[in-house]
């Protein structure tokens, strides 16, 4: 069993949890919660949403 990383917020996903979403082009997206999945489907980018780990990592010193 391996731990996955959320494709939207970069949070860790325990084995047996989360959702897998396969796009038409064959790429696989892993989501830790329905909150991340819905934000992705709305077209939002994790780098611009303030509660994600990605945003916090990029804007650490600002």
The confidence score (pLDDT) of residue 1 equals 80
Q: Are 9 and 18 in contact (CB under 8 A)?
A: no
Look up residue 46 and give its DSSP letter: G
The string of pLDDT tens digits covering residues 35-53 is 999 999 999 999 999 999 9
- The fold for domain 1-43 equals Ribosomal Protein L24e; Chain: T; (2.30.170)
Residues ≥6 apart with Cβ < 8 Å to 9: 32, 36, 46, 49, 51, 52, 53, 54
Work out the pLDDT band at 17, boundaries 50, 70, 90: very high
Report helix, strand or coil for 47: helix
Q: What is the pTM of this model?
A: 0.84
Q: Are 9 and 46 in contact (CB under 8 A)?
A: yes
Domain map of the chain by residue range? 1-43
Work out the pLDDT band at 61, boundaries 50, 70, 90: low
Q: Find where tokens 């999945």 sit.
A: 37
Mean pLDDT over the full length of the chain: 93
Determine if residue 36 is labeled as part of a ligand binding site: yes
Determine if residue 17 is labeled as part of a ligand binding site: no
């Amino acid at each position: 069993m391996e731990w996955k990383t959320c494709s939207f917020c970069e949070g860790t996903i325990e084995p047996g949890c989360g959702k897998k979403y396969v796009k038409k082009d064959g790429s696989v997206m892993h989501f830790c919660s329905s909150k991340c999945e819905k934000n992705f489907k709305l077209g939002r980018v994790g780098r611009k949403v303030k509660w994600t780990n990605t945003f916090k990592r990029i804007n650490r010193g600002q």
